Structure 1
Amino acid sequence: MIEKLLTMSFSYRNCMIIWVCLPLLSSGNAVFGGSIVKFLPGFDGELPFKLETGYITVAESELFYYFIESELSPESDPVLVWYSGGPGCSTLNGIIYEIGPLAFNITAYQGGTPILEYYPYSWTKTSNILFIDAPVGTGFSYAINSSAYPSSDTKSAEQTYEFLLKWFTDHPQFLANQLFIGADSYSGISAPIVVKHIIDGADAGVFPRLNLKGYILGCPRTVETINENSKVTYCHRMGLISDPLFEQARESCNGSYYEVEADESECYINLQKIDKLIHDINKNHILEPKCTWASPDQDGESDIRSLKEESENFILSPPRIPDFWCHNFNYALSYIWANDISVQEALNVRVGTIKDWKRCDKKLNYTMNVYSVLDVHRYLSSKGLQVLVYNGDHDLVVPNIGTQDWIKLLNNMTVDFEWRPWFADGQIAGYNIKYSRRGSGYRLTYATVLGAGHVPQEYKRRECFDMYDRWIHYYPI
C-alpha cells in the first residue's frame, strides 16, 4: 500500500493519506526519495553524521544523491548543493577527497575493503550539503532507457534545476535555509546556468521557491578562449618557458594562442616549442610527478595508445614501491570501495543499475555546447548574490590568471579591498580580492589557494575549509 502511495503523481503529495503515512516511513529510516544510512563498510561503528541517499527522477533519468546534514545546526545552517566537474566525475569524489566528512586511510591499506575514517574539517561542519551525481551516467546515476543518456551543458543544467525543485519538495523543512550552488572544474560552465534557472524560476512564480543566496566555484571553466590563452602566460610566470620564447610567442600570435592552425607560421612554431617544454608537466599540479607515463618521452610522442586514451585511469592500484608516489594512487581505493556490492547495498544503490562505477567517466555521452558563461555571470551580477571563486595557484588546467581575467570583464564592478593575503593556522594560505556592484548587493570574493592544484580543496583540504567557513557566514576570508 505504501509503495502504491509513493508512486502517485507529484500533484497529490499533499493529500491527507500521504501525510498520515509519513510516520510509518520515518520509523523505517525512509524518507521521500531516499533512506538514512547509518553504517558503511570500512567505517568503524555508526556514522557520526546524518547521511541520506536516494534518487530523484528527472526526464527518464534517476539522479543519485547523498545528503549530509550539518553537524552543527541543520535547521538553520545553509544548504550547499555540490556537484563535480569532468563532466562525468562522481560527487563521491567530493565527499571523500575534498569537502566531505570521510577519508580513506591510504597508507594503512593492505587489501580488502578500504578503511574509511572521519575527517574533522568537513564543510558539513558548517552547512548541509546535497551532493548530486550529475549529469546522468555519472557515479550511481542512470537512465531508465538508453535514449535518455545523451546530455549536454544546457541539458545538464536544466535537469539539475528540475532535480532541486523535486528534492526540496520532498524536503520542505530545508526550504527556508539559505541556498548556495557549488561546483568545480568543468561544472563551472553549467553551475551558473543552474543559478540563472533558479532566479528566473522564482521570478516566474515556480513552486517551490528556493531561498537562493549565492554560489561558489572552484577552478571553474568559464570562457574557453580566456582559459586556454591564459595557459601560455601562466607557464611564463611560473618559469616553465623562457622570457625570449614567451615574447616571441606573444608577438607572433598577437596574444592569441587558442586554436592556431597547424601550419608553418612563426606563431604555430613557437607554440609547438612551448608544448614540448610542458609536455611532461602534470597539468593538475605542476610540482607533482606526471605518473601516467612510465617514463618521459624522449621524442615528444608516445606510441602507447592505451595511455593516451585513458591516461587519468592508468594507475588504479596503490604503489608497490614505498618511495614512489603518484596523486592517482589516492583514487585507487575509491574504485575498490564503490564497486563493492556491500557498499552499494549500504548506500541503497539499485541493484544492477551500475555495473562498473567510475570516479570520472571519460566515455560519458556528453556534448559540450556552451563555450562561455561570461554573459550569465554578468546577468547574475545584478541579482544581489554572494559569490566565491577560487583557484589553486599551481593549477595549469584552469590557471588563476584566466579566472582573474574574466572576473575583470564583469559589469560595473568596484574593488572593496585590494589584493591581500588570507591566513590559516597563522600562515598565509593564499591571496584574495573582493569586488561589489553598486546598488545590487552583489559581492564577489576571489581567492587563490597557495600550493594547491586542480581542484584546490583536494590538495589543501584544511585551508579550504577555513576559507569556506568564513565566507559562508559572511566573514572576510
Structure 2
Amino acid sequence: MAKQCLPFLLLLQVWLQLAAAHTIVKFLPGFKGPLPFHLETGYVGVDEAEDVQLFFYFIKSQRNSKDDLLLLWLTGGPGCSAFCGLVFEIGPISFEVKEYNGSLPTLVLNPYSWTQVSSIIFLDLPVRTGFSYARTPLALQRSDFKQVSHAEQFLRKWLMDHQEFLASPIYIAGDRTCCHFIFLYQHETPRNSYEAFNLYCRDTYILGNPITDPTFDFNSRIPFAHGMGLISDELHESLKKSCAGEYQTIKPSNAECLKNVGAFDKCISDIEDSHILERKYNDPLSFNKAITEEKIEAMNEEIHAIEKNDTWKLTHPPENKKAIGVKRVYKTKAKLVDKGYKQREGHVLVTYWANDDNVRKALHVREGSIEEWKRCNYKLPYTYEIKSSIKYHIDLGIKGYRRLIYSGDHDMEAPFLGTQAWIRSLNYSIVDDWQPWHYQGQVAGYTRTYSSQLTFATVKGGGHTAPAYRPAECFAMFRRWIIQEHL
C-alpha cells in the first residue's frame, strides 16, 4: 500500500511546488535580521503550455503601496538578470563591497531605493535569464518578439494574482538593450486590451542609457571620445573626413577610414566603456586568448567548488596546474576591490551569493530548474528582430505617452550624444531648454524638456547604468519626475 502511494505523493509534491507560484520572503542570507520591506519572489508561467517559467522579485512601496505607482523593471543584455537592477541600481538592498573572504557576501540597505515611492517588479527576462527557466528545449527560443509576448503575458497573469494593484498607475522601465522590447511591448499591446484590468495610467515609460539605434548610438562614440579628450583633434578630423560620420559599416575599399578607426580603437583600448573614469578591468580568464572556453568553464567549476566549501581545498591534487591556476584566479578576483574595481567586485559577489544553496532556498528557487546563476547569460542563441526603436518613440509620442530618458554622462557604450541625436530626430519642439538640475545644492546633470511629454536628462558622473554610480541623484530625479516636478 505504501509503495502504491509513492507515485501519488510525488505528483502531489510537484503540484504543490508549482501551485506555490509566489512566496513572501522575510529573511535573506547575508542580511542581518528580518527584511524591513515586503519582498515576494516567484514564478509566472507563460506560453500556451506555460513551458516558460519567468522568475520575479516584487517589492511593495515602503511608503503607500495602495496609492503609489507600480513599476515593471526590465534589465538589458539581453540576458542580464533583473536582480542586478535590484542590488546595483534601484532596489532596497545592495552588497557591502569589501575584500571577499570566502564567506557569504553581506547585504546592506540602500538609502536611495526607488521602492521608497513605488512598488517594483524585477523580472528575469528573457527565458534562462537569472532564475527563469524553460521546461522544454523548444521553449528556450529567445528573440525580441518572444520577449514582448512573454512580458505582456507575465503582467496580465501577475496582476490577476495581485488584484490590489489593478488600479495602480503602471510604469514600464529599464536600461540598456532592454529598450527595444519595452517599446514593442508598449506599442503592440492596444490600450483597450487592458480595459478589463482598468490600467488607465499605463502610458508612461522610463529608459536609462538606452541603446536605441546603432546609427546614432555607436556613431556617437567617436565625437564623445573626442569631447572627453580621449583622442586628438587631428585624429578626430581625419575620422570625420575619411568616414563621413559613419563608423559602423565601413566599406573595405575605404582604407583611410579603416586605418583611422584602428587608431581610434587603439587610443581607447585601455578605457572602460561603461564608465570612462573607472579603472579598466582585465579579467585574467576572459581576456587571456590562450585559455579556451572549455578551460574557462572548468576553472569556473573549480572556483565555485572552492567557494561552496569555504576553503582552499581543491578537487584536484595540488600539483595539478589547472587547479593551481584556479586558486590564483580566485585570489585575484577576491582582491579586486583593493585595485579600485568597486563595480566589478560587486558583480563577483552577486555570483557567489546567488549560487549559494541557502540563498536559493530563501528565494524559493525551484530545485533543479537551473544549474548556475549568471549575472548575464549571453551564451544562449538570441534573435534580434528590430534594428531601431525610434519609430516606436514616434508612435508612442503620438499616443500621448509620458517619457523620461536619462543618460550617465560618462558612458561610452551608449553615449548621451547619440541619445540626444535620436531625440532630435523626432522633431519635437523644445519646451524648456538645456539647463542644469540640482541635488543638495550641486549640479547633478542637465535636462531639456520637449513637446509630446518627453524629458531628457544627463546624470553627472553616471556610467552605463547611472543609478549604480549616482544612486542619490537618480532617486531624486525619479521622485521629482513621477510627481511631475521640474527636475
TM-score (normalizing by structure 2): 0.85
The match for 1:120 among 101, 111, 116 is: 111
Structure 1 residue aligned with 2:362? 346
Alpha-carbon distance change, 322 to 63 in structure 1, aligned in 2, over 3 angstroms: closer
- Partner deviation per Cα, 1:80-130 (whole Å, 9 max, x = no partner): 100111111001111111100001112275331111111121000000001
Secondary structure of the residue that 1:328 maps to in structure 2? helix
Deviation of 1:39 (Å):
0.7
Say yes or no: does 1:473 pair with 2:462.
no
Secondary structure of the residue that 1:151 maps to in structure 2? coil
Structure 2 residue aligned with 1:39? 27
Say yes or no: does 1:153 pair with 2:151.
no
Q: Distance in 1 between the 2:474 and 2:184 partners?
A: 24
Q: Are the counterparts in 2 of residues 284 and 453 from structure 1 also a CA contact under 8 Å?
A: yes
Q: Distance in 1 between the 2:155 and 2:86 partners?
A: 19
Give me the identity figure in percent.
Answer: 41
Secondary structure of the residue that 1:189 maps to in structure 2? helix
Q: What does 1:113-262 correspond to in 2, within 5 Å?
A: 113-198=104-189, 200=190, 202-204=191-193, 207-211=196-200, 212-262=202-252
Q: Distance in 1 between the 2:420 and 2:117 partners?
A: 28
Instruction: Report how many residues are paired.
Output: 439
Q: What does 1:20-59 correspond to in 2, within 5 Å?
A: 33-59=21-47
Q: Are the counterparts in 1 of residues 46 and 153 from structure 2 also a CA contact under 8 Å?
A: yes
Q: Distance in 2 between the 1:414 and 1:321 partners?
A: 47
Aligned AA (1:444): L
Alpha-carbon distance change, 391 to 205 in structure 1, aligned in 2, over 3 angstroms: closer
The match for 1:432 among 447, 462, 466 is: 447
Alpha-carbon distance change, 319 to 426 in structure 1, aligned in 2, over 3 angstroms: farther
Structure 2 residue aligned with 1:331? 347
Q: Which protein, 1 or 2, shows the higher relative CO under an 8 Å CA cutoff with sep ≥ 6? A: 2
Q: Distance in 1 between the 2:338 and 2:101 partners?
A: 17
Deviation of 1:255 (Å):
1.4
Which protein is richer in helix relative to its size? 2
Say yes or no: does 1:272 pair with 2:270.
no
Say yes or no: does 1:290 pair with 2:280.
yes
- Partner deviation per Cα, 1:334-374 (whole Å, 9 max, x = no partner): 01110011111111110011110001112132112211010
Q: Are the counterparts in 1 of residues 447 and 456 from structure 2 also a CA contact under 8 Å?
A: yes
Alpha-carbon distance change, 225 to 325 in structure 1, aligned in 2, over 3 angstroms: same
Deviation of 1:182 (Å):
0.4
The match for 1:462 among 467, 472, 482 is: 472
Q: Distance in 2 between the 1:117 and 1:31 partners?
A: 32
Q: Distance in 1 between the 2:425 and 2:219 partners?
A: 15
Aligned AA (2:392): V
Secondary structure of the residue that 1:81 maps to in structure 2? strand
- Which segments of 5 or more consecutive residues in structure 1 lack a partner in the other structure? 9-24, 438-442
TM-score (normalizing by structure 1): 0.86
Structure 2 residue aligned with 1:74? 65
Q: Distance in 1 between the 2:65 and 2:419 partners?
A: 33
Say yes or no: does 1:420 pair with 2:435.
yes
Q: Distance in 2 between the 1:31 and 1:145 partners?
A: 19
Q: Distance in 2 between the 1:264 and 1:414 partners?
A: 38
Q: Are the counterparts in 2 of residues 109 and 115 from structure 1 also a CA contact under 8 Å?
A: no
Give me the CA root mean square deviation.
Answer: 2.7
Alpha-carbon distance change, 393 to 31 in structure 1, aligned in 2, over 3 angstroms: farther
- Which segments of 5 or more consecutive residues in structure 2 lack a partner in the other structure? 1-9, 301-325
Deviation of 1:33 (Å):
3.2
Aligned AA (1:446): F
Deviation of 1:204 (Å):
4.5
